[in-house]
Amino acid sequence: MTRRPMMAANWKMNKTIREAQEYTAALLPRAADSEDVDVVVCVPFTCLHEVGRMAGDSTVIAGAQNFYHEDSGAYTGEVSAPMLLDVEAGAVIVGHSERREVFGETDDMVARKAKRAVEAGILPIVCVGETKEERDAGDMWEKVSGQVGQVLEELEDAGGESLVFAYEPIWAIGTGDTATPEDAQDAIGKIRDLLRETQGDDFAASVRILYGGSVKPENAAEIMAQEGIDGALVGGASLEVESFVELIGAAQNAVAQTEQ
């Protein structure tokens, strides 16, 4: 089974609507050149309607960076899955380490969000990853397998193509300190083995697993060349459209190389 590579931008808390319009207008024709890559742009809620409208039927998928698993009600400050569908979001980041660390999201909350997104037909990009202390203590896999396992328990009979995992070691996010391609591949390989053991071969073969953490044009080719790494979730280097286009190009080249 071949999985379509994905290049996903995470703008975090950046850009006004005007800036989002300029970026999206520049991105759309360039993304269309990379027809073998799924391009996702996860933007602040305030920009989502506009980016979703501009993306329309193009190959670019507009995504959110978070949502709440209930559909409506007394949840001040939150946005629901039906609201995301209303603005044509096709994807949503779930459980980003900044949500977990700054806003106190637990594995249980993350798992509920992943489940609700899948039910709603919005592709969740579920983030997992360890801190530096956990890695140094040899606890990387205990942490990551716990995070992945809780999501899988909630999912029941969802198909593997209905969600994406992003392995994002916390010490590599926004630090310029990328995991070595081998470390990234090792963690991602372990995640896929866990998917196979718990959900079966077809599920494991169809889930896309991205790497995230200081991905930039200089290291993208090497990361994308690793067997089993299906793409990247990119923060800082996605903010400039030219740099994000280069990353999409690296994913497209990786496809071309495996086809040779």
**E-strand stretches of 105-230:** 123-128, 164-167, 208-212
Q: Is 121 annotated as a binding residue?
A: no
**66-105 positions binding ligand PGA, by CB under 6 A:** none
Q: Give, for 10, the enclosing helix (H) or strand (E).
A: strand 6-10
Residues 153-172 that bind ligand PGA (CB under 6 A): 168
Count the site residues for ligand PGA by CB under 6 A: 13
Q: Given candidates 31, 155, 210, 215, which one binds ligand PGA under the rule CB under 6 A?
A: 215
The residue of the chain with the least Cβ separation from ligand PGA equals 235
Q: Which of 25, 23, 59 is nearest to 44 (CA)?
A: 23
Task: For ligand PGA, give the closer residue by CB, 19 or 177.
Answer: 177
Q: Rule CB under 6 A: is residue 52 a binding residue for ligand PGA?
A: no
Segment near ligand PGA (CB under 6 A); pick from 33-41, 107-115, 156-164, 212-220: 212-220
125, HSE (Cβ side, Cα atoms, 13 Å): 35
Phi-psi region at 116: left, alpha or beta (left = phi > 0; alpha = psi -120 to 50): alpha
Beta bridge mates, 228? none
Q: Is 213 annotated as a binding residue?
A: no
174 lies in the site for ligand PGA, by CB under 6 A: yes
Catalytic residue among 96, 98, 105, 130: 96
Q: Is 171 annotated as a binding residue?
A: no
**147 in contact with ligand PGA (CB under 6 A):** no
Whether 242 is a known active-site residue: answer no
Q: Based on the number of CB atoms within 10 Å of its own CB, is 190 exposed (0-12), middle (13-18) or buried (19 or more)? A: middle
Question: Is 235 annotated among the ligand-binding residues?
Answer: yes
Active site residue 96: yes
Q: Binding mask 218-257 vs ligand PGA (x if CB under 6 A, - otherwise)?
A: ---------------xxxxx--------------------
Residues 126 and 259: their CA atoms lie apart, in Å, by 28
Q: Is 141 annotated as a binding residue?
A: no
Residue linked to tokens 């896999």: 141
Distance CA 165, CA 124 (A): 8
Told to check if 214 binds ligand PGA by CB under 6 A, we report yes
213 near ligand PGA, rule: CB under 6 A: yes
CA 110, 193, 223, 29: dihedral to nearest 10 degrees? Answer: -60
On whether 200 is known to bind a ligand per the annotation, the reply is: no
Q: How many Å separate Cα 114 from the centre of its chain?
A: 12
Instruction: Extract the annotated binding site.
Output: 10-12, 174, 214, 235-236
Residues that bind ligand PGA (CB under 6 A): 10, 168, 173-174, 212-215, 233-237
Residue numbers annotated as active site:
96, 168
